[in-house]
Amino acid sequence: MVPFAGYEMPVHYAPGILAEHRQVRASAGLFDVSHMGQARVLGSNAGQVLETVLPANLLELDVGLQRYSFFTDANGGILDDLMVARLPDSYHLVVNASNKTDDFLLLESLCKDNIEFRALTDHALLALQGPQASAVLETLAPGINALPFMGVQQVSLKGLTCTITRSGYTGEDGYEISVAAENALALASTLLESPKVTPAGLGARDSLRLEAGLCLHGNDIGPDTSPVEAGLQWAIPQCRRKGGSRSGGFPGADRILSEIEHGPVRKRVGICPQGRAPVRAHTSLLAPNGSSVGEVTSGGFGPSINAPVAMAYVAREFSTPGTALQAVVRNRPLPVQVCPLPFVPHRYYSPKTLRRPLS
């Protein structure tokens, strides 16, 4: 157990990080992610108001669907990334634990006229992830398997009212389940009764998301990175881009839309070390001539591919897959290569095939 964002969080359970990682890839793991911030924004024009701080298309988001987005600042940096789901009466938001105080203050500042903000501090969040997650949840909520990737539904699980989204942070099929905190232990215990499910902690969560090429705010994205540098421009719909019906209108739009059109100075890339030594965050990256071209933001060992993996920002001219670079580890240059993301293909649910999210 370790302290994290004001909570005591499990790094791993008895089986260990490697076992938990492989369990999620092969079957299903249950993560307690109740430290994340949950909130709802209500009002007839809530979507329009949220679009002033998010480069998203919320006005045309159908009830029962969810989108990935981010709060941006005036310089085009990412204050936080989040999920926004459309419910019949509100928008349901899930934000990062370390940023939720500031995020909630921002959302509260938008409240005027008929807009209402509610922080769901009395709710827990459980993430059931892995290829067997759907089969397990189907036994408790028949028909939940039909929920599409990035879909959201309010259901009853053994008499407990829950808001369920088909999403997660592992690259696998799975669900995130919002439930009243007083019912979280009972629900977790029920899910863990299945032999297909074991608990998983922060260590496996990090190695799974790294293999999936998913950004961690505070490491891979933050106020000093733009969505385009991070390769997240796929989350900005055409209607919010230049020439779109609601172009701009969010903080930092000038820089972000310019980078979409002309390209950023640097780009987030995958890094494959040529050897067994892992390359950690803050490791400097050098061109063959010894000049500095970037820095690693996340790195570690990828259990699914049995090799070290990392993500980094490098100057655009060095971002082509196959480019040879050097990582400075303990004052020694080690050979690495720029490689495509993700390291492990996404297996999100689709009725016809398992696929990546739109990019």
pLDDT digits (tens, 9 = 90+) for 315-344: 999 999 999 999 999 999 999 999 999 999
50 close to 41: Cβ distance less than 8 angstroms:
yes
* C-alpha–C-alpha distance, residues 24 and 174, integer Å: 10
Nearest to 96 by CA among 76, 133, 68: 68
Dihedral of the alpha carbons of 9, 13, 17, 23, in degrees to the nearest 10: -120
pTM for the predicted model, two decimal places: 0.95
Pick the CATH number of 265-359 from 3.40.50.300, 2.40.30.110, 2.120.10.30, 2.60.40.10: 2.40.30.110
Name, in order, each residue with C-beta under 8 angstroms of 178's C-beta and a sequence gap of 6 or more.
38, 92, 94, 120, 123, 124, 125, 162, 163, 164
E strands in 120-187: 123-129, 152-157, 160-165, 174-180
Phi-psi region of 136 (alpha: psi -120 to 50; beta: other; left: phi over 0): alpha
* C-alpha–C-alpha distance, residues 313 and 217, integer Å: 14
Q: pLDDT digit string (tens) for 60-85?
A: 999 999 999 999 999 999 999 999 99
Q: Which two tokens stand for residue 41?
A: 């924004």
At 356, the pLDDT band (50, 70, 90 cuts) reads very low
17 close to 204: Cβ distance less than 8 angstroms:
yes
Chain position carrying tokens 């959201």: 152
- Tell how strand 78-86 and strand 266-273 pair up: unpaired
Checking if the pLDDT of 357 tops 70, the result is no
Domain boundary assignment for the chain: 2-37+88-211, 265-359
2-37+88-211 has which fold?
Gyrase A; domain 2 (3.30.1360)
* C-alpha–C-alpha distance, residues 313 and 315, integer Å: 7
Q: pLDDT digit string (tens) for 190-203?
A: 999 999 999 999 99
Residue-level pLDDT at 352:
58
- Tell how strand 307-315 and strand 292-302 pair up: antiparallel
* C-alpha–C-alpha distance, residues 282 and 295, integer Å: 6
